[in-house]
Amino acid sequence: MDSRKAAYGFTDGGEDIHSTALGSSMHFNLPTILTGAALAAAIYLLLNKSDRMFPTIAVIASGIEVLLVMGLMSLSLAKFRIDVILPVLLVISGAVCWLRSSEKSSTTAATGLTLIGAIQLLLALHVS
């Protein structure tokens, strides 16, 4: 067996030894990191704001995204694109929280939430 293949976790048969040992493997890629960061920012805003309507919307939208990315939930709607709706909710709720924030930490979390939602929206719309 090639030493490079062994270092990356592949056996002679080509299968991933980590996925055979654990049942399934999860890789940290851009969608996983973005949804995790959006969820963390939304939870921070929810815990540190007196007006909780928009942070609650952000927590629900980012929580659904995390469940979708991790494969714990599948959601398919015939008429609506959920990959566009959830980032739009993040952008709107993040922007409203940013406009209403007065602390540096809340402004940072709201900015991060807005930018992550914008990146996800651009990726969903295939804008390069």
Q: Please report whether residue 78 resides in a domain.
A: yes
Q: Note whether residue 19 is domain-resident.
A: no
**pLDDT at residue 24 in the model:** 54
- Count CA within 13 A, CB hemisphere, residue 98: 15
Residue 40 included in any domain: yes
pLDDT of residue 10: 43
- Is residue 15 situated within a structural domain? no
What pLDDT is stored for residue 77 in this prediction?
79
Q: Answer yes or no: is 21 within a domain.
A: no
Name the residue among 85, 101, 124, 106 with its Cα closest to residue 42.
106
pTM of the model: 0.76
pLDDT at 94: 96
Burial of 53 (0-12, 13-18, 19+ CB in 10 A): exposed
- Residue pLDDT tens, the chain, 128 long: 444 444 334 455 555 444 444 445 567 788 889 999 999 999 999 999 778 999 999 999 999 999 998 889 888 778 888 989 999 999 999 999 999 998 999 999 999 999 999 999 999 999 86
CA-wise closest residue to 54 among 86, 89, 106, 105: 89
Range of the domain at 52: 28-124
Residue 39 lies in a domain: yes
For the chain, what is the domain count?
A: 1
Confirm whether 13 is domain-assigned.
Answer: no
Predicted pLDDT at 56: 96
